[in-house]
Structure 1
Amino acid sequence: MREKIVLIDGHSILNRAFYGVPDLTNSEGLHTNAIYGFLNILFKILDEEKPEYLTVTFDVHAPTFRHEMYAEYKGTRKPMAEELRQQVPVIKEVLRAMDVEIIEKAGLEADDLLGTISRICEEKGMDVAIISGDRDTLQLATEHVKIRIPKTKQGRTEVEDYYASDVKEKYGVTPVEFIDVKALMGDASDNIPGVPGVGEKTATKIIMEYGNIENAYAHASELKPPRASKNLQEYWDQACMSKTLATINTHADIEFHLEAAKHGDPYTKEAHDYFQKLQFKNLLSRFDVEASSNKIESHFKEINEKDRAEKVFKEAEKASTVGAALTEDNGNVLPLFAHASGYGRLTIAYGKDKIYSIVCGPDMEMDYLFERLVHIAENVQTFSMFDLKKYLPVVKITKQENCFDATVAAYLLNPLKNDYTYEDVAREQLNLMIDEKADPMTKACYEAYTAYAAAGSLTEKMQAEGMYHLFTDIEMPLVFTLFDMEQAGIQVEAEALKFYGEQLGARIVELEKEIYEMAGETFNINSPKQLGVVLFDHMQLPNGKKTKTGYSTAADVLDKLAPDYPVVEKVLEYRQLSKLKSTYADGLAVYISSDGRIHGKFNQTITATGRISSTEPNLQNIPVRMELGRLIRKVFVPKEGCVFIDADYSQIELRILAHCSGDEQLIQAYKEARDIHRMTASQVFHTPFDEVTDLQRRNAKAVNFGIVYGISSFGLSQDLSITRKEAAQYIENYFETYPGIKRFLDDTVAHAKEEGYVVTLFGRRRPVPELKSSNFMQRNFGERVAMNAPIQGSAADIMKIAMIGVNKELKEKGLKSKLILQVHDELLIEADKEELETVQEILKRQMEQAADLDVPLIVDMHTGENWYEAK
């Protein structure tokens, strides 16, 4: 029986997988789709072929490719996408971990290696299976060499097989003649020029008749069609070069040792570790190695007796680090434990073999478990949980400095992810893969163990990246500040909200009638397709942009038409009011609790820049641009005996930009409390300060704030309705006025390109992977992110410091007043009227002294009987 070897064209299969599998990234931001697709194809082939030997070949893109004389021509190939390029060294590492032989040699392409090894093995009496996405390899097919070409159909991988007879049957030529067909027809994907005017059909017909290009050239005058005859003679040198480029070298100068290619068990412990790191969960089932998780699970213990639980609690209190998890008995997270006597479990871990899941029962109600957990939290050095704020309503911790929120720590280390579950942290920090089908007790034990075991790893990594002080001094105290704000909530006048909704509804009905009258017909205004037809087909409005689904009625399209067409202006108003009604007038009502207040959620692990976000409901998105939108703030009122104080940072991001850039002119202007926008207008438009018009000031303001966000000349031209050339001149004049800003932005982008991240004033890192994208638009976006993230992130950090300071001082002084809301650069306090002056002083001082910048931080403060008045 003949032995078999499988030869894989590494780059070809990796490339095919890259474009065939949707983009995947692991928790470290590494693109993994090509690796994942490659491994799926590899395992499929190994399962089918069951070979004795296996080798993967790779190109080494040295100065020469197949032949030195054609290097310049083939060197014009499109460069590899960056997202694919970064996966090449990783797949090689994975293959080596699987004990797979890899062969590569500078100056030779993968198919030259395949051709040579294939010939050697066939001559040894072996069967060969070549796996490649490149049809060039069909020329290598023989009676014992099978070419296997993977194809993806409807998300599934299918493989086409070709022996020499199959090539002849499908293409009408032998494998050797296949080279000559390609020499004539060329191959744009491989930069083989071929002969102009000769397609596949003509090339195949010529080679079927004449056998090769040399014989065809000898009979060039007889070739049909006449164009092929003429062009083959005119481009004969190019045809010869194309044949050389298309011919795989089967006698390349390489060393190949068959024994090194012996295929053993690829499911090694090292490969298992790589698959965990790459987060290929469904491929791990192929491994039969002892996972470290099995060892840990042997230490999971369930406790139902109170005396045993007490022993565990007392032992845990003496530990330096304790991890904890609170879950319902069915394994679901119990957010607020509204029914403390209900069934649930407390799981704690304080050693690799000290992992206990304590079940609530008749003699161990949840209140008792909460009480014991608080006692532990306040006696150990480090008390670690995931999403700690969620449990603070029942785990009433007073000693905050002991607490460690593993979710927040994981977020700091990688702020680009969508979530930070204990399963993710277990995989990333502890190299543990947790079975999704595990029972509730096992999952709870893993969560507590991960909180315990990952605390050290997360701390070390935050220290290594200079973010540990950010974690301990800002993010952890903020957990408790946000909790206090959520508990306080904000009072809403339900009847006023209902009346506001009715007003909106009435105006929406009026607008509908007005729009129908202007359009001369009724239609669904909320349907972009119907609206597009009415505006651009029936009413013949200009500048209609057709898309696959109809005319675009996006806001930017309608905004340009609104000044000249009243119907469009009314459509925009209709849209705004409809959103106001559904999202706010109707939407807010469902969040009003029995105490008449909305207790929303504040999230600190959502945004990449470090800004706090608001959900359930999102009170940070209350409209401010239109008066009717702002009026909704009137329904938010302080409780009896209180008044609202609203404090807003003045131009905080521009002030941070002045500090970070060190631009002397901008710093001096802020120190002198000058009108920054008027001063910028004076400089940019070359107008005396006192003669700057309101329009010039508005335009300068757009430039000032646009620069912070890395605005382009195109973006500025759209904002100001000016030409792109004018906008470019504005920006150029701006940088001449403030050269320090230009230097800072350029240096920041350069740093991001070199290091892969930017940093705020307080050490917060924001990775910018977009800068390495092969897509121009993505790279451009990455540059804007690099410019803005340090500014916006520093503003977020300063706001957090202020919030912590304000909340702490209000509590320490025993005041009734409470911090209840944060919206970007604004804080809202529900102040007891008798404490008004004291609270105003605290608020102003804590906010203005939150950071020591080269320019003063200024706070605008107002009071009111509702949020509208205070703002």
Structure 2
Amino acid sequence: MQNQTPLILVDGSSYLFRAYHTLNNEKLGRYMATSDGKPSGAIYGVVNMLKSLFKQYAPAQIGVIFDAKGKTFRNDLYPEYKANRPPMPDDLRCQIEPLHQIIRAMGLPLIAVEGVEADDVIGTLAAIATEQGRDTIISTGDKDMAQLVNQHVSLINTMKNEFLDVDGVTKKFGIPPSLIIDYLALMGDSVDNIPGIAGVGQKTALALLNGIGSINDIYQNLEKVSSLDFRGAKTIADKKLVPHEDSARLSYQLATIKLDVELDFALEDLHLNEPDLTQLENLFSEFEFKTWLKEVQTGKPVLAGDASAKQHQQAESVNGAQNNQSQGEAEDSQQESCINHEHYETILTEAQLSEWIARLQACEYFAIDTETTSLNIIAADLVGISFATEKGIAAYLPLAHAYTGAPVQLDKTIALNRLKPVLENPKIGKVGQNIKYDQSILAKAGVDLQGIQFDTMLESYILNSVANRHDMDTLAQKYLNHECIHFEDIAGKGKKQITFDQIPLDIASQYAAEDADVTLQLHQTIWPALEKQEALCNVFKEIEMPLVNVLSKMEQRGVLIDSDWLKQKSQEFAVRILELENKAYELAGQPFNLGSPKQLQEILFDKLGLPVLKKTPKKQPSTAEEVLVQLALDYPLPKVIMEYRGLTKLKSTYSDKLPQMIQPRSGRVHTSYHQAVAATGRLSSSDPNLQNIPVKTEEGRSIRQAFIAPKGYKIVAADYSQIELRIMAHLSQDENLLHAFSENLDVHSATAAEVFGVSIAQVTDEQRRHAKAVNFGLIYGMSRFGLAKQLQITNDEAAHYIDTYFARYPGVSDYMEATKQKAKEKGYVETLFGRRLYLPQINASNGMLRQAAERTAINAPMQGSAADIIKLAMIETQNWLDSEKPDCFMVMQVHDELVFEVAQDHLESYREKIIQIMSDAVKLSVPLVVDAGIGDNWEQAH
């Protein structure tokens, strides 16, 4: 028996939930769905893990076990068992049946037994195998399974690269497998709603079990408990153990995995069957698993085991788990990879360079990638350039590798001068992955990269902006089934990481050439799909690609910062923060850590008895910002805490940090703009994040004073006025809204006049404020509850405002309903220019998920259209700057605002030109209004 491969038992239910929460987590920006909106992440994750597990162990016998529908015997023992668990999300429930179909079609035995849980079936099969002397490996993430471990049964958690035999369980939990049930029974389990003994936590449970033994031993030797060495030992028997013995005994029953489930099959029946290739082809096609579909269609094995795995013994499994699992849960990149390093070349001679220049000149387009010493474009030095002209044909031109023993390389200036005619030729297309970076790096080296046609990051983003990340590693895995060489693998990590110029050339060349090759192949894979979608293709060609040049120039220019002013502001903030700390201590009646949610929770709710407005997932009173905002309306301490939080964030994020971000080479701060992050098409920025500078407080607005004009220039800040409301008027064609904007009325006063039934001249400040909240709230899908909360009015009053609004603006109501209906039919909404935002939850049966998607459906066309409009304005502005070369520079974009440095000699004429370009960026049914201010700093100009 010892020569057999182990029996593999897969906890399918554990796999299912781990896959769902890993690949279908919108909060973390991860969501897998088909092009028509069907969720697919859980299916993909489970099948991937099964493939990985099979490759590692190549088992002769395997079973995949799932929980069956309905209640189990534990619900009869304790009706509240698992009662705390929320209902299964709709977007997970709909994936279960197709997942089961795929597993069966793969030829894997799938088991679900009514009346018991998957754990019980696994436990029974493991017990049978143990009786036969068979080794069993249980693949699970469930800690309860540790009770099954013995000399023949081990656990593997593929997510954590964790292998547990008897010694492993003892080391991890502090007790042997034989006491795991007792451990669970004493502590209870909030997830499964096993009661346990109230007040007994991990430390107490371990002290009791290690000091005395099992639960039976403990209750037979209660007199020994008081002599144990842990806090509360003297009273725990009388106060906790004795009063809750019934609960402990019940918990023991609930936590015990059955080992005698009646099965209608034998262990020998758990063998692989022939895969149903037709069904797999249909299912992989339906859920758009392109790599797996291609494998099936080309006759590759559905489950490919590592031949050496058949020789593995259980004692070797730890190393096997650690070595093989380093690829994570991704698809096996070796089966389908299109990358072949054999045809990569390192250019070290003039002859090689001449040959490659001729090859590049003959191309319609080629892929290009630069290697540098830093990700910051100003601090970075060019180390080398790689090219790819055909699939698998790539080269790296090293220019500045400087480690000891590095081979002689071509002179950088001479090589770049020879490449310039190709790189600056607009008729030869260039393809890159985040090519904006390469354009900026080459510009620093004196090369004006022309002919930029494609960016694979943007191709992926435009095709589906709500898909997973659009970085090269992710795209290579998704589209090419290839795992790229990781920079950390060749350069190291953390403080020991070396720069690219210090990496040995043979290694660096493979890495760099691969980047270009992968980029080319990604374009050849993604572009045909994007090209079929005319509207999306136009967004890519007319908006996103031209914007690359604009953003590159803005990033290179940077913005001037008054570091002395910021240092002074930091000192002022520090004084005020100290005052707020002391004020908080006074209100709380004691010192405490204002940055600690736990301590704040104790002060606010335990000591001061403030009302609990919201709870955390762990059922603790929440101290989140929205809670403090509400409490601050009635109580002084939360108000102080809010001001303290705001100032500490301003100080740490801006007044302290911005001076440190000034680049010595330029004396300026250079933010990085990101096109492929926000699903709606909005730009984001980092280092620093300009989009998040607070504007609602005086202190927040003051930070903008640090952004200053250089000598002889002024700052001009041009901002679209109420652009999203104007887009709503255009989209809805509501007569009253169109009239208000066309007549240049104050739209908030006009709305107030309509809602409150008065003339515009009679509208009060409060009425206008309420109308403004309605105007902006409705385009963000705000409910009457949200409006009531914001305006501090009753729900009935808020409902009256909304009803009256829609009665006065029926076109808006009609547009909203029509948009939701179209979204339900198509699975996506579009901007004015055809940019799509997919809404996988728009038809969810879960009301909260569906309503959130409906709110997004209403707002996304407006927010996305506004993003597109300002991008078009930026492109036209840059065209003006490039053609006429005025003494004017576009230096920042923040939401609906563009910021310029304008020479004082031409200030008014250039300001008018900027307004004209932005106003004419697109023709709507209502005018686009641009406000443009002037000042010595950004705040003055705003």
Q: Would you say same fold, with TM above 0.5?
A: yes
- 1:425 matched to 2:494: no
Q: What secondary structure is seen at the aligned counterpart in 2 of 1:293?
A: coil
Does 720-729 or 473-482 show the bigger shift? 720-729
- 1:364 matched to 2:410: yes
1:173 alignment counterpart: none
- One-letter amino acid matched to 2:627: V
2:630 alignment counterpart: 560
Q: What secondary structure is seen at the aligned counterpart in 1 of 2:395?
A: strand
Among 893, 905, 925, the residue aligned to 1:834 = 905
1:389 alignment counterpart: 436
Deviation of the 1:799 alpha carbon: 0.6
1:175 alignment counterpart: none
Among 799, 806, 810, the residue aligned to 2:881 = 810
Deviation of the 1:382 alpha carbon: 1.9
1:480 alignment counterpart: 549
Quick one: structure 1 residues 765 and 371, their matched pair in 2 at CA, closer, same or farther if it must change by over 3 Å? farther
Q: Sequence identity, in percent?
A: 33
- One-letter amino acid matched to 2:554: M
2:77 alignment counterpart: none
- 1:654 matched to 2:725: yes
1:304 alignment counterpart: 348
1:18 alignment counterpart: 16
1:409 alignment counterpart: 459
2:219 alignment counterpart: none
2:365 alignment counterpart: 321
2:197 alignment counterpart: none
Q: Equivalents in 1 of 2:95, 2:512: separation in Å? A: 36
Q: What secondary structure is seen at the aligned counterpart in 2 of 1:781?
A: helix
Deviation of the 1:37 alpha carbon: 3.5
Contact 2:562 / 2:707 at 8 angstroms: preserved in 1? yes
Mapping for residues 213-252 of structure 1, pairs under 5 Å:
none
**Post-superposition CA distance 1:717-744 (Å, at most 9, x none):** 1111112232223222222222222222
Contact 2:870 / 2:896 at 8 angstroms: preserved in 1? yes
**Post-superposition CA distance 1:441-485 (Å, at most 9, x none):** 333222111222332433322222321221121111211111111
- 1:720 matched to 2:799: no
**Post-superposition CA distance 1:545-564 (Å, at most 9, x none):** 66558643333333333344
Mapping for residues 131-146 of structure 1, pairs under 5 Å:
none
Mapping for residues 193-272 of structure 1, pairs under 5 Å:
261=273, 269-270=295-296
1:378 alignment counterpart: 424
Q: Equivalents in 2 of 1:47, 1:867: separation in Å? A: 59
Deviation of the 1:497 alpha carbon: 1.4
Q: Equivalents in 1 of 2:700, 2:89: separation in Å? A: 50
| Structure 1, gaps ≥5 residues long | 62-77, 104-108, 113-129, 162-188, 190-245, 251-256
- One-letter amino acid matched to 1:491: L
Quick one: structure 1 residues 153 and 316, their matched pair in 2 at CA, closer, same or farther if it must change by over 3 Å? closer
Q: What secondary structure is seen at the aligned counterpart in 2 of 1:829?
A: strand
Q: What secondary structure is seen at the aligned counterpart in 2 of 1:597?
A: coil
Q: Equivalents in 2 of 1:355, 1:752: separation in Å? A: 44
Deviation of the 1:616 alpha carbon: 0.6
Q: Equivalents in 2 of 1:727, 1:867: separation in Å? A: 37
Q: What secondary structure is seen at the aligned counterpart in 1 of 2:875?
A: helix
Give the total of aligned pairs: 732
Does 732-741 or 390-399 show the bigger shift? 390-399
Among 389, 399, 409, the residue aligned to 1:350 = 389
Mapping for residues 433-444 of structure 1, pairs under 5 Å:
433-434=483-484, 436=486, 439-444=507-512
1:32 alignment counterpart: 41
Among 624, 637, 643, the residue aligned to 1:573 = 643
Contact 1:831 / 1:839 at 8 angstroms: preserved in 2? yes
- One-letter amino acid matched to 2:353: A
Among 916, 924, 930, the residue aligned to 1:845 = 916
Contact 1:679 / 1:689 at 8 angstroms: preserved in 2? yes
- One-letter amino acid matched to 1:573: E
Does 539-548 or 724-733 show the bigger shift? 539-548
Q: Equivalents in 1 of 2:845, 2:91: separation in Å? A: 5
- 1:613 matched to 2:684: yes
2:162 alignment counterpart: none
Contact 1:131 / 1:149 at 8 angstroms: preserved in 2? no
Q: Equivalents in 1 of 2:57, 2:886: separation in Å? A: 75
Mapping for residues 667-686 of structure 1, pairs under 5 Å:
667-686=738-757
Mapping for residues 498-513 of structure 1, pairs under 5 Å:
498-513=567-582
Q: Equivalents in 2 of 1:545, 1:45: separation in Å? A: 45
Q: What secondary structure is seen at the aligned counterpart in 1 of 2:442?
A: coil
Task: Report the structure number with the largest CA radius of gyration.
Answer: 1
Quick one: structure 1 residues 657 and 471, their matched pair in 2 at CA, closer, same or farther if it must change by over 3 Å? same
Q: Equivalents in 1 of 2:826, 2:539: separation in Å? A: 20
Deviation of the 1:111 alpha carbon: 6.5
Q: Equivalents in 2 of 1:349, 1:658: separation in Å? A: 48
- One-letter amino acid matched to 2:440: P
- One-letter amino acid matched to 1:322: F
**Post-superposition CA distance 1:698-724 (Å, at most 9, x none):** 111101001111111221111111122
- One-letter amino acid matched to 2:660: V
Aligned residues: CA RMSD: 4.5
Deviation of the 1:622 alpha carbon: 2.0
**Post-superposition CA distance 1:397-452 (Å, at most 9, x none):** 54644432222222222323563222333333344444656854333222111222
Among 645, 657, 663, the residue aligned to 1:593 = 663
1:463 alignment counterpart: 531
Quick one: structure 1 residues 458 and 699, their matched pair in 2 at CA, closer, same or farther if it must change by over 3 Å? same
Q: Equivalents in 1 of 2:97, 2:607: separation in Å? A: 55
Deviation of the 1:525 alpha carbon: 2.5
Contact 1:370 / 1:395 at 8 angstroms: preserved in 2? no
Q: Equivalents in 2 of 1:532, 1:44: separation in Å? A: 45
- One-letter amino acid matched to 1:462: L
- One-letter amino acid matched to 2:365: T
Among 558, 566, 586, the residue aligned to 1:517 = 586
Q: Equivalents in 1 of 2:270, 2:390: separation in Å? A: 49
Quick one: structure 1 residues 320 and 630, their matched pair in 2 at CA, closer, same or farther if it must change by over 3 Å? same
1:492 alignment counterpart: 561
Q: What secondary structure is seen at the aligned counterpart in 2 of 1:827?
A: strand
- One-letter amino acid matched to 1:854: S
Deviation of the 1:793 alpha carbon: 0.5
Q: Equivalents in 2 of 1:822, 1:442: separation in Å? A: 38
- 1:86 matched to 2:95: yes
- 1:454 matched to 2:522: yes
Does 789-798 or 473-482 show the bigger shift? 473-482
Which structure ranks higher in relative contact order (CA pairs < 8 Å, sequence separation ≥ 6)?
Answer: 2
Quick one: structure 1 residues 552 and 667, their matched pair in 2 at CA, closer, same or farther if it must change by over 3 Å? same
Deviation of the 1:131 alpha carbon: 12
Mapping for residues 737-752 of structure 1, pairs under 5 Å:
737-752=808-823
Among 140, 165, 168, the residue aligned to 1:152 = 140
Q: Equivalents in 2 of 1:557, 1:60: separation in Å? A: 41
Deviation of the 1:571 alpha carbon: 3.0
